[in-house]
Structure 1
Amino acid sequence: MAQGQNLNADQLFEKINAAKDSKSLLKKHLTPEIFAATKDKVSKFKGTLADCIRSGCMNPDSGVGIYASDPDAYTTFAAVLDPVIKDYHNVTELNHPKPDFGDTSKLDFGDLDPSGDMIVSTRVRVGRSHASYGFPPVLTLEDRVEMEKNTVKCLAKLTGDLKGEYCPLTGMTKEKQAELTADHFLFNDSDRFLREAGGYNDWPTGRGIYFATNKKFLVWVNEEDHLRFISMQMGGNLGEVYTRLVKAIKELETSGLEFAKKDNLGYLTFCPSNLGTTLRASVHIKIPKLAADPEFKKFCDGLHIQARGIHGEHTESVGGVYDISNKRRLGLTEIEAVQEMRRGVEAVIKREKELSGK
């Protein structure tokens, strides 16, 4: 149960103001003036400022500290969300371009590591939200069940190598749990920031996992976002992974799913850290020499890529293997984001080989 669930906006604002050591973007940008101008506003989905700031006020050690209560929150509470978004994404203007996935039949990249010596696996994922539903803080149990039902109906229309099986978390057998855990597919309710934001309300009702028969395409339903589409496979064939994801998105858009978007922000999700393309393309790659270089972070920053441990942000490398991904998601198109990641990974491979004397 979220500890701050019964606190109103004024009480929450008092808490974050009292947290002198907080370095969150919420603390930085929610000024008394902005708070006074937004605290009594209500979105089209009945979301409030308290719904948006609860997690960051109860967890002053948050990095961002604010969530969107629903798609309309990005308009209703723009006075605080816009500066947070600009700060997090390092942009001066919010003018995200229209979606452009490129022509996947004419991609100029394929396998980034044909030798198979360095790249362990490749993954591309996006977040999506149903346009007609709010985000976790405002959803009812009935909303979650209905949203899951509508999603599963559309997933059942996927064809070819995207065709697969949906496994709801409710009533899942121990055998299926073990299988999905072994495949690293299963998500859980252990994040305290999400819990305080209402992300685990009614857990596990309305949640589940869809995976293609070949396990190279996966959908998380009502984990943090309404939907997470993930394309992945072993090795370094980014072309195949990206093409599969684009095919899935297009099939689902024509099957009856309408995704929440805003003209200047692109696709909308629960957390303002994941807007625009919402696309994260990554490889798990063996780079022990480069990772040991004191200039490693600076090298990555110069290429607009991010390096982290294979178990996610703030985790350590295992055996010299790092997760390398595109850093920018807002202000560029999908194909530009993937190309930026591709060029970054190619530069990482080249530098690792130089340091290894190859």
Structure 2
Amino acid sequence: MADLPELWNKLSSTDSQSLLKKHCTQEVYDKLKDKKTSNGGTLADCIRSGSQNPESGVGVYASCPEGYTVFADLLNPVILDYHKISELKHPECDFGDMANLGFGDLDPSGEMIVSTRVRVGRSHAKYGFPPTLNKEQRVEMQNITKAALEGLTGELKGTYYPLEGMTKETQKQLTDDHFLFNDSDRFLKAAGGYDDWPAGRGIFFNDNKTFLVWVNEEDHIRIISMQKGGDLSAVYKRLVAGIKELEKKLEFARLPQLGYLTFCPSNLGTTLRASVHIKIPKVAAMPEFKEICDKHNLQARGIHGEHTESVGGVYDISNKRRMGLSEIEAIQEMRRGVEEIIKLEKSA
């Protein structure tokens, strides 16, 4: 594995447009090069992926939750730049009043919204991120998370499937359901995200397949609520119920100024991404489509994720902002934007 001087030389010699290249100046490098977190996290852990992949957009990962403090001279400017905020300030967690959300189904007729999904990332407070974990710790984290998941009841009750030792039949079924994650992202691989694969990784989902949890994919935990149609209220309420149940047994990493902490600094704060797969062929064909999305702080992607094309006029539309606003504010921002896009599609 490349050491820090080698990574720095590689980064310095490229014309990368990444946030890493922009903010890891000689001064910052000299200040941080000898620092370590209590579990051995280094600057090399933070810059390895972006140094080896000069076409990265961000290029920076945190070695562990503590890394956000130890390597703040690099990570803070990246966070400010990526999230387009003027100061590191994040409100307390606020999911809103579940009995009075003020919204329900965004597409009662079922004509436009194919499906709705809301997810968050969470990290165990006492464990590092992938570069500073060993196999035993990954398995230990999996066992702690699995125990918490197996205590869920009612609508959230489900089954945990470890990737290690998974049968081909289960693997095929989870792939067909678009549930199974893989180890194919080269940027994440370079950051150490797939070390010891598939040990310590797994998937949990409820009996209705509307509540899903990824364990040790990129983040320690990804909590996902989803269903067909446009009932954002039902999807959001299920997600919040799941988070609150898991919080009774698990301690999640958080900093007052950054919100919830995850491996990549692009996903901090609420860590919440709410999205719909929506048929909008008319709006999507408008020259000002991107401006419309930007105006409402929305992001449009193809249905297979970032950098993919639309299929049949169906787009993945989600909230763009994660930091500087509460969970309920992020959901409301997405809801208002989607409602506006629906209006435009119907009147076009």
Alignment of 1:1-358 (within 5 A): 5=1, 7-20=2-15, 22-254=16-248, 256-355=249-348
Letter of the aligned partner of 2:292 in structure 1?
F
Q: What is the CA distance between 1:128 and its match in structure 2? A: 0.2
Q: What is the CA distance between 1:11 and its match in structure 2? A: 1.2
| Separation in 2, partners of 1:17, 1:318 | 40
| Separation in 2, partners of 1:323, 1:162 | 25
Letter of the aligned partner of 2:272 in structure 1?
L
Letter of the aligned partner of 1:16 in structure 2?
L
Q: What is the CA distance between 1:105 and its match in structure 2? A: 1.2
Q: Indicate the RMSD between aligned Cα atoms, in angstroms.
A: 0.5
Letter of the aligned partner of 2:263 in structure 1?
F
| Separation in 1, partners of 2:203, 2:61 | 23
| Separation in 2, partners of 1:301, 1:153 | 41
Q: Secondary structure at the match of 1:325?
A: strand
| Separation in 2, partners of 1:106, 1:159 | 24
The unaligned stretches of length 5 or more in structure 2 are none
Letter of the aligned partner of 2:294 in structure 1?
D
| Separation in 2, partners of 1:133, 1:151 | 12
| Separation in 2, partners of 1:39, 1:272 | 19
Q: What is the CA distance between 1:320 and its match in structure 2? A: 0.2
Deviations along 1:254-281, one digit per CA (max 9) or x if unpaired, are: 1x10000011000000000000000000
Q: What is the CA distance between 1:46 and its match in structure 2? A: 1.3
The structure 1 segments of at least 4 consecutive aligned residues displaced by more than 6 Å after TM superposition are none
| Separation in 2, partners of 1:103, 1:248 | 16
| Separation in 2, partners of 1:107, 1:88 | 29
Letter of the aligned partner of 1:336 in structure 2?
E
Question: Percent identical across equivalent pairs?
Answer: 69
Q: Secondary structure at the match of 1:50?
A: helix
Deviations along 1:83-120, one digit per CA (max 9) or x if unpaired, are: 00000000010011110001111110010000000000
Letter of the aligned partner of 1:12 in structure 2?
L
Deviations along 1:56-99, one digit per CA (max 9) or x if unpaired, are: 00000000000001000000000000000000000010011110
Letter of the aligned partner of 1:88 in structure 2?
Y
Letter of the aligned partner of 1:218 in structure 2?
L
Q: Secondary structure at the match of 2:99?
A: helix
| Separation in 2, partners of 1:97, 1:88 | 18
| Separation in 1, partners of 2:268, 2:339 | 26
| Separation in 2, partners of 1:104, 1:243 | 7
Counting matched residue pairs gives 348
Q: TM-score, normalised by structure 2?
A: 0.99
Q: What is the CA distance between 1:9 and its match in structure 2? A: 1.4
Letter of the aligned partner of 1:220 in structure 2?
W
| Separation in 1, partners of 2:33, 2:126 | 24
| Separation in 2, partners of 1:236, 1:300 | 19
Q: TM-score, normalised by structure 1?
A: 0.97
Q: What is the CA distance between 1:45 and its match in structure 2? A: 2.1
Q: What is the CA distance between 1:162 and its match in structure 2? A: 0.2
Q: What is the CA distance between 1:44 and its match in structure 2? A: 2.1
| Separation in 1, partners of 2:125, 2:288 | 43
Q: Secondary structure at the match of 1:105?
A: coil
